[in-house]
Amino acid sequence: MADVLSKRARSLEPSLTLSLTAKAKDLKAKGENVVGLTAGEPDFDTPDVIKEGAIEAIRRGETKYTAAEGILPLRKAVAEAYSERLGVPYGPADVVISHGAKHSIYNALFALTDPGDEVLILSPYWTSYPDMVKILGARPRIVELTKKTEFKLTPEIFQKQLSRKKKPRLLMLNSPSNPASIVYRREELEAIARIVLESGISLISDEIYEHLVFEGFEHHSPVSLVPQIRNRTVVVSGVSKSYSMTGWRVGYALADKDVAYRMAAFQAHATGCPNSISQWAALEAIQKGAEAREEMRVEFEKRKNLFGKRLERIPSIWYPEPGGAFYYLVDVSKLYKKCNAKNSFDFCDKLLAEQGLVVIPGGAFGCDKMIRFSFAASENDINRALDRFENFVKKYSS
Ligand code: PMP
Ligand code: GLU
């Protein structure tokens, strides 16, 4: 049957973050003794106030197609909340609601790139960025960032990329980031936003972890720091991470109205509209969910600290301190030789086989020396996972 497949389809593999999460769940369901710190997904239940909004929407009969760009009350609420938050004016016509922030990013890439265009993707990157770019016929230009710049894009690195013969069309930026959990400081982000303005390229600012920021760090959006880039920027966020609503599938984008119009046109043909009931639930989240959101953030911060304390005593590894999101990205490359692993995929296979621990290989994020742990898990699972990781590392670092 493979001969019916298009070349494009043949080159596409499933998302490893999703498939390993499913694998861990599957093994557990079969009664295997595994712990998975795979998914970037809050383990809390969706707050009741949000669920009630959805139930009421069903009772009212909000069960039909909506406008392709999403229901007006939600677009209005997003526009109002973000105009205030970003200090830059957005109206409902500048907002497109989609089937998760993942889909918002795909729509934005569709609206802002042509086949053959190059897109700057900063590694370590979220696993889906390069594949989305490739599906659209554009080309990911991976910019490898290192410990030296704390995995951040600096003005020097950015300018160097811009001075290459082929000018990139777009920069993908993500702060707080997945998988490194880094948060750009205000002045760092402002410098990048200024270069975006001068260079005339466009920007997708993926701010899905905007509310998940820890003590000593602050979230900033490039659009609030340099408002002149508003019309060349698509700001993406959503309710998945902040309100524990991953399965409801609601994300949104804020853009210049012409860009928003084309994103909605694409969505109209590709999916019709986002789920009607989930949109009403997302409206409740934005209007009434702030308290529950903050309670969950506080809990994540506790878990980050617990995780950090346990990692501190494990030898032979290195990791950046998470400023936001919910990941520890850990350099385990010193152990590769000792445990006879060729790469991060091999290393993770061994962790599973020997310790029943499932985590994501850094190779999925363009950083093969590292592995990613999600700390969006119960304290019990974090402790069990770290017992196993510690055993594994101790066995091979002696
Ligand atoms: N961006 C990043 C960096 C992410 O980690 C995720 C998580 N899935 C998303 C976007 C998409 O989130 P969702 O589609 O669940 O809204
Ligand atoms: N973004 C989350 C992660 O990286 C969820 C899975 C996905 O959509 O990639 O684990």
- Segments in the chain forming alpha helices (H): 7-10, 16-29, 48-60, 72-86, 101-112, 128-135, 155-162, 186-199, 222-225, 257-270, 276-288, 290-312, 344-355, 379-397
CATH of domain 2-46+291-397: 3.90.1150.10
Cα-based distances in Å from 324 to 210, 327, 387: 8, 8, 24
Question: What is the per-residue pLDDT across 146-181, written as a single tens digit (0 to 9) for each?
Answer: 999 999 999 999 999 999 999 999 999 999 999 999
279 CA to centre of ligand 1 in angstroms: 17
Closest ligand to the CA of 40: 2
325 CA: nearest ligand 1 atom = 5
Residues, the chain? 398
Residue 243: what pLDDT?
97
Sheet holding 370-374, edge to edge: 327-331, 370-374, 360-361
Ligand 1 centroid, distance to 105 Cα (angstroms): 9
* Ligand 1 mean position, distance from CA 151 (Å): 19
Distance 101 CA to ligand 1 centre (A): 5
Place of tokens 């898990």: 377
- Residue 367: helix, strand or coil by DSSP? coil
Q: What is the mean pLDDT of residues 227-254?
A: 98
Ligand 1: residue whose CA is nearest its atom 12: 101
Question: Residue ranges of the domains in the chain?
Answer: 2-46+291-397, 60-289
State which of 126, 204, 235 you would mutate to test the pocket of ligand 1, scoring each by most atoms of that ligand within 8 A of its C-beta.
126
Identify the helix (H) or strand (E) that includes residue 118: strand 118-123
pLDDT of 39:
86
Report how far residue 235's alpha carbon sits from residue 222's, in angstroms, rounded to the nearest whole number: 9
Phi/psi of residue 387, nearest 5 degrees: -60, -45
Q: Confirm or reject: Cβ of 99 under 6 Å from ligand 1.
A: no
Alpha-carbon distances of 51 from 41, 98, 248, rounded to whole Å: 18, 19, 10
Ligand 1 lined by 36 (C-beta under 6 Å): no
Cα of 208 vs centre of ligand 1, distance in Å, is 6
How open is the CA angle 225-185-176, to the nearest 5 degrees?
95
Q: Is 15 in the pocket of ligand 2 (CB under 6 A)?
A: yes
Ligand nearest the Cα atom of residue 373: 2
Distance between CA atoms of residues 189 and 227, nearest Å: 12
**Rounded mean pLDDT, 32-46:** 93
Q: What's the gap in Å between 287 CA and the centre of ligand 2?
A: 25
Ligand number with the minimum distance to the CA of 245: 1
Average pLDDT, the chain: 96
Region at 272 (left for phi over 0; alpha for psi -120 to 50; beta for the rest):
left
DSSP-derived 3-state class of residue 123: strand
Average pLDDT, integer, range 324-339 = 96
Mean pLDDT of all residues in 204-212: 98
Residue with the larger pLDDT of the pair 220 and 397: 220
- Specify the CATH architecture of the domain 60-289: 3-Layer(aba) Sandwich (3.40)
Structure tokens at 64: 């039909």
Residue 394's SS3 state is helix
What does the pLDDT average to over 184-189? 98
CA-nearest residue, atom 5 of ligand 1: 178
Q: What's the 380 CA to ligand 1 centre distance in angstroms?
A: 25
Residue closest via CA to ligand 2's atom 10 equals 40
How many angstroms is it from 304 CA to the middle of ligand 2? Answer: 18
> 130: pLDDT confidence band, cut at 50, 70 and 90?
very high
Per-residue confidence at 1, pLDDT binned at 50, 70, 90? low
pTM of the model: 0.97
What whole-number percentage of the chain has pLDDT above 70? Answer: 100
Q: How confident is the model at residue 398 (pLDDT cuts 50, 70, 90)?
A: confident
User: Are 190 and 157 a contacting pair, CB within 8 Å?
Assistant: no
Distance 83 CA to ligand 1 centre (A): 22
Q: Relative to the alpha carbon of 329, which ligand is closest?
A: 2
Nearest CA among 210, 277, 216, 263 for reference residue 240:
210
Which ligand minimizes its atom distance to the CA of 175?
1
Written as one string, the DSSP assignment of 207-276 is: -TTTT-B-TT-----HHHHSGGGGGGEEEEEESTTTTT-GGG--EEEE--HHHHHHHHHHHHHHTSS--H
3-state secondary structure 315-336: CCCECCCCCECCEEEEECHHHC
The pLDDT of 358-362, averaged and rounded, is 96
> What's 167's DSSP letter?
P
Listed as own residue / partner, the contacts of 265-272 with beta carbons closer than 8 Å and 24 or more positions apart are 265/68, 266/107, 266/110, 266/111, 267/68, 267/69, 267/96, 267/98, 267/103, 267/107, 268/68, 271/99, 271/103, 272/65, 272/68
Tokens read off for 19: 């498939």
The model's pLDDT over 59-88, given as tens digits with 9 standing for 90+, comes to 999 999 999 999 999 999 999 999 999 999
Q: Tell whether ligand 1 has an atom less than 6 A from the beta carbon of residue 182.
A: no
Instruction: Give the ligand 2 atom nearest the CA of 179.
Output: 4
Cis, peptide link before residue 73, omega less than 30° from 0: no
